[in-house]
Amino acid sequence: MLDDKGFDLWADGYDKSVGLSDEYNTYPFAGYKKILADIYRIVMEKPNAAVLDMGFGTGTLTTKLYENGCVIFGQDFSARMIELASEKMPDAHLYQGDFSRGLVEALKKETYDFIVATYSIHHLADDQKVVLLRELTDHLRDNGKILIGDVAFESREELDKCREESGDEWDDDELYCVADELRADFPGLVFKKMTFCSGILTISG
């Protein structure tokens, strides 16, 4: 698992690494652009939405939202990622913090129309995901949504199949979302499969 220093070192080449995996439709970033485009479309249905991005990285998605009128909040544990994202979004409210420990204090004071997490919460253990998502639902406005775009699967069987087919490429340190297991805590969760290894999970407030 990458720590904050690991992400600092990866930050400058992150977008290129993601792009190559997406272009060749390989694990883990197959469907990356499709997922971001889908989340972007959903968020843009509400003008001037307040959006919290958990683990925003270099700001690939949030920069587009920012440029189109959204009020952007974010939490990431890499100082370098925040630096890169701040250059693109000077008026965004970006904070450094490890979201395995929940929201930083400044973000706890706000509510949001959308909370997005793209390729970020797979760094959390399954029980940590549940704790974080419960906290995040408390900060949704009426009709708000949590949108998670990531390596994700409808069932454990589908995850195991992808792991087997990915062979040595599979990252055993990543803990991917399994929709039917998360529904034990979030019964209304909807999963939209995007590729053989990715999809969008939606939890409505």
Q: Looking at the 3D structure of the chain, how many domains does it have? A: 1
Domain with 30, as residue range(s), is 4-204
Beta carbons within 8 Å of 64's beta carbon, 6+ residues apart: 40
Residue 144: name the closest of 111, 171, 119 by CA. 111
Q: What is the mean pLDDT of the chain?
A: 90
pLDDT tens profile 69-78: 999 999 999 9
- What does the pLDDT look like over 133-179, one tens digit per residue? 999 999 999 999 999 999 999 999 999 999 999 999 999 999 999 99
pLDDT at 165: 95
Which CATH number do you get for residue 152?
3.40.50.150
Closest by alpha carbon to 111, among 155, 154, 145, 80?
145
Residue 148 identity (one-letter amino acid)? I
**Per-residue confidence (pLDDT) for residue 14, from 0 to 100:** 44
d(CA 162, CA 13): 26
